[in-house]
Structure 1
Amino acid sequence: MKLLLIGFSRFARRRVLPAVAVMDEIETIDIASSHAGTDAVGHIPKLGRVHADWREAIHDMDPGLVYVSLINSEHAQAVRCAIERGHHVVVDKPGFLNLDTTEEMVALARSRSRVLAEATCYSFHPMYPEVRSVAREFDTDITKVVAIFTPPVPADDFRCDRSAGGGALLDTGPYMASLGRVLWGTEPDRVTVIVGDRTTNGLETSYSVLAGYPGGRTVIGQFGFTAAYRNSLQLLGPGIAVDLARPFSAPPDMTVDIRIESSGESHTRSVHAADSMQIFLSSVLDAVRAGSREFDAPLLSDARTRDRLVRAASDG
């Protein structure tokens, strides 16, 4: 299958292109970006055509897979155009700026029998099945979670621009919104958000959150752009404590150590290095071949929870 990458973002260069370069299912990679001339692209395995206009690229390519890696405010337009042309689509997180648009795009994809997936790919890393295996092994359940994700974002980055769909709630919100689904297969029934920092025009750049889930489960989170870099999960349950490093962005070459404390003893379990983006994209292509709609429910669930986060921040 041919892949069309719309946008030449740093994330696409760092994570998407290396992943698809080694995937046998992807035969050719076209790139569409006004900033990606032939010289700027350099040597990319499987490189096909380089387009200056993504709209023309979408219409020129036979139906295949489109990956949208534009600024957040441009996602919906590109996704709509690609689906209407007959392409399957993967879109960077946050897929869309609000729940209404998410529901509209999912309905469009269903009407055209196309796969639409949001690239919240961290959950495809094998550390998460291993965490569930640890809980079963110790005959317990993870019921309390403390999450911290504070990636630095320069002030001139689009993620600090309201008109581009920026802000910490949209940028890191997909991680917080998806945690309950990833760990427990459920959405929160209570959400409280306190915005910590804002730009001079009021755009939120950090926030704290407390979310309650069915069965007494809770997540406490600290997210945003203004603190020192942290990327961690503490998972707690009856008789067990589990610590994960780099849970939201483990590099493909990183062996992940899961630290377990139980009954006064400490254990470390190592999870082999894995490329979560490659695993995610392979799952997308499996869904394409099977005609599966398996990515609809996660996309809608995360959009509902992220919508609750935004509304809770406004109420606060």
Structure 2
Amino acid sequence: MKHNIQVKNSIQASNQQILLAIKKSSDIINYYSVGIQPSKTILWTPEPQKSIYLTSVQVSAPLAVSILLSDDDIDFLSLKITQPFSTVSQAFPSPFKLTTGNSLMLSTSDEDISCNINGAATATQVAYNGRSDFTNVNNAIGLSNGTLASLSSALLTQARGRLVLGYSILPTQYQYFEIEQVTIKYYCRLSLTLAVGVSSMILYWRPNTQVDWTQLQEISLSIIGSVNYLTNPIQYDITDTVLGAPDPWAVINNLQTSFVGTHTGLGIGNIVQLDAIEIQICMSGKNQITVFGYEA
């Protein structure tokens, strides 16, 4: 409880006595959670004809950030977090008064963005149009490292297959972060040394196992040559789809990718290869701000 103490003088008989008239104003504690906020946003608007008096401010953040507080458009306090999962605070020696009627505003700057790259935890081959002809399937697990799952053309049959990759990429403390960008990276190669039929690789993903696959791209060759994405992967930004889901972190926790290879021609010498399918997640921090004060 905040006490404003007023001292009055009163004369009774021949003695002077000090009387205390105590006016009480209730403390207000406001909690806020904000991500990247480059423009000023209102935190606290006082009642009409009143002013905000701040007694202290505390900021906690999972990533480096600067928090700027303003008296409407006039900046008066900057608090900077430099280490992950740190807390800084500012206690005012005496209540800091904002201009009567003005709102307490907040903006952020110098925000750190954390990006994590994850490889698949599992790789499973399932039939594609009745066939499962990939070899060295487990080479598709993990980050890109030069070990390859392969689908080679054959003399007597049209070779094909589908690889399904699962992930375990939900950040341990995901509730303290906001998703900024999600990118899928396909490290793959298609090479033809025999110009017979068509050889293809098809890229897919889905947010969970309950929905159909979304095809992202099909790359095909019917003449001798190659397309090589083992060094510079094919990349797809799926951020809008992830953030458009009711629970974006559930998508991160359950998403799968898929890689299909096919050879329609008969003959030895054509090959489809997959090194890895990586998921890159870039995140900003959820900044927790606690403001202590009162209105008067």
Greater per-residue helix proportion = 1
TM over 0.5: no
TM-score under structure 1 normalisation? 0.21
Greater per-residue strand proportion = 2
Higher relative contact order (CA 8 A, sep 6+): 2
Structure with higher Rg: it is 2
